[in-house]
Amino acid sequence: MGLFTLAEARAELARLRPALDEILVVRADMVELSAALIPGGEPSPLGGLPERKAAEARLNELMTEVQQTGAELKGIAPLLIDFPGELDGVPVLLCWLEGEAELAWYHRTGLGFAGRRPLP
């Protein structure tokens, strides 16, 4: 996979929004179902072990969908996605974090999340 321009990364993020929204729902369902499966856990109206396994399979499908675009899925709790790109000839990762309205941050490839800066 190649590098994303800022415009391409923003367009891909917009295209991925339905899958990202579903990841958030499935992630919450998995937490609830997992808690219900712990001995003494409160039963969930979502179901039991079969539903937990189905949610896990769906989450894996959604994560694969994101990664097949060339984006890097860095975390799911919180949901964190990096798009490889360049700014002024410097390799960077265009960085989106769950809850952010748009793709507005980046960090140099070796710095990670702690090195995030607003896009110029």
Question: Mean pLDDT over residues 77-93, rounded?
Answer: 96
The predicted-structure confidence for 61-74, as pLDDT tens digits, reads as follows 999 999 999 999 99
Is pLDDT above 90 for 18?
Answer: yes
Closest C-alpha to 89, from 3, 27, 30, 31: 3
pLDDT value, residue 2: 85
Q: How far apart are CA 60 and CA 64, in angstroms?
A: 6
Q: Across all residues in the chain, what is the average pLDDT?
A: 96
Is pLDDT above 70 for 31?
Answer: yes
Question: Mean pLDDT over residues 81-86, rounded?
Answer: 97
Residue 81, exposed/middle/buried by CB under 10 A (0-12, 13-18, 19+)? buried
pLDDT value, residue 80: 97
pLDDT value, residue 8: 97
Q: What is the pTM of this model?
A: 0.91
DSSP string, the chain: --PBPHHHHHHHHHHHHHHHHHHHHHHHHHHHHHHHHSTTPPPBTTBSHHHHHHHHHHHHHHHHHHHTTT-EEEEETTEEEEEEEEETTEEEEEEEETT-SS--EEEETTT-GGG-EE--
pLDDT value, residue 98: 97
Is pLDDT above 70 for 99?
Answer: yes
Residues 59 and 30 sit within 8 Å (Cβ to Cβ): yes
Is pLDDT above 80 for 1?
Answer: no
The token pair that represents 40 in the structure block: 């003494």
